[in-house]
Amino acid sequence: MPNSYCTLYIVRHGQTDWNIQGITQGETNIPLNSEGIKQARASRKNLKDIKFDAVFSSDLIRAKKTAEIITLEKQLAIETTHLLRERRYGKLDGKPYNMMKKYYDTWERLSKKERVNYRPYKGYETDEEVVNRFITFLREVAVGHCGKSVLVVTHGGLMRAFLNHISEETYLTGSVSNLAYIKLESDGVDFFIKEKYGISNQTNA
C-alpha cells in the first residue's frame, strides 16, 4: 500500500461490570473490571509487534485505561478526545439493555437510509451524528499520519455505526465484543477494511 495511506487499528475497550450486568453505559464513566484488565493485557500481547506511531482514545476511563495497558511498553503519549466517546443514550444511560430492545427492534425493520436519522427519543445520538464525528476524526488522523500506524481505542456503539455506514452488511447490538478491533487503511478520504477481529455481522437481504 502506498505511503499515502495510514493504517488504523480501531479497538473497543475491555469489559466492565456494566457489560456483565447488561446495563447501557453510554457516556457514563465506568472503569474496567478485572476481566477487562486481563483482556487488555491479552490484546497488548496480540498487538506487540505493531509499531504504533500515535495513540488516541476516548476520554472515558474504560477506553483510556485500555489504551494505557495496550501501549504500556511502547512509551507513547495517549491523546484523549470526546469525539471517540460512546454514543449518547440520554435518559437510558445507566438503564438495563432490555429497555432499549423495542428501539433496536424498530431500527432493524428500517431501511438503511431510514436508520441513519432514527432518533427514538430526545437525547439519543443518531447514527448520522455518531458517524459524522467519528469519520471526521479518523480522516484528520489519517491525513496527519500518512504511512504510519495509529491505535484508536473507542466504544462498540461507534464501531457498529461506522461499519453499518461503510459496509453493505448489518452490525447489530452485541456484534462488537470487548477488545474487538478493525484494521483499516485510509488516505483521509476512503476507508479500506483489511481485518476484523471479535466482530460478527448479519448480511442484508
**Can you give the residue ranges of every domain in the chain?**
6-199
DSSP state letter for 48: T
Each residue's pLDDT tens digit, 150-179: 999 999 999 999 999 999 899 998 899 999
Each residue's pLDDT tens digit, 28-57: 999 999 999 999 999 999 999 999 999 999
**Is a pLDDT exceeding 60 seen at residue 2?**
no
13 annotated active-site: yes
d(CA 118, CA 122): 11
Q: Do 28 and 94 meet the contact criterion of CB atoms below 8 Å apart?
A: yes
Q: What pLDDT score does 186 carry?
A: 97
**Cα four-point dihedral sign 141, 36, 200, 87:** negative
6-199 CATH fold: Rossmann fold (3.40.50)
The angle that helices 61-70 and 34-46 make with each other, rounded to 10 degrees, is: 40
Q: Label residue 1 by pLDDT band (50, 70, 90).
A: very low
**Is a pLDDT exceeding 80 seen at residue 202?**
no
145 annotated active-site: no
The per-type count for the chain, helices as H runs and strands as E runs, is 7, 8
Q: Label residue 138 by pLDDT band (50, 70, 90).
A: very high
Average pLDDT over residues 97-101: 93
d(CA 11, CA 19): 16
**Is a pLDDT exceeding 70 seen at residue 205?**
no
**Is a pLDDT exceeding 50 seen at residue 8?**
yes
Q: What pLDDT score does 3 carry?
A: 72
**147: helix, coil or strand?**
coil
List 27, 86, 125, 165, catalytic entry = 86
**Is a pLDDT exceeding 80 seen at residue 194?**
yes
DSSP 65-116: HHHHHHTTTTT-PEEEEGGGSPPP-GGGTTSBGGGGHHHHHHHHHS-HHHHH
Provide, rounded to the nearest whole percent, the portion of the chain with pLDDT above 90. Answer: 94
Q: What pLDDT score does 4 carry?
A: 84
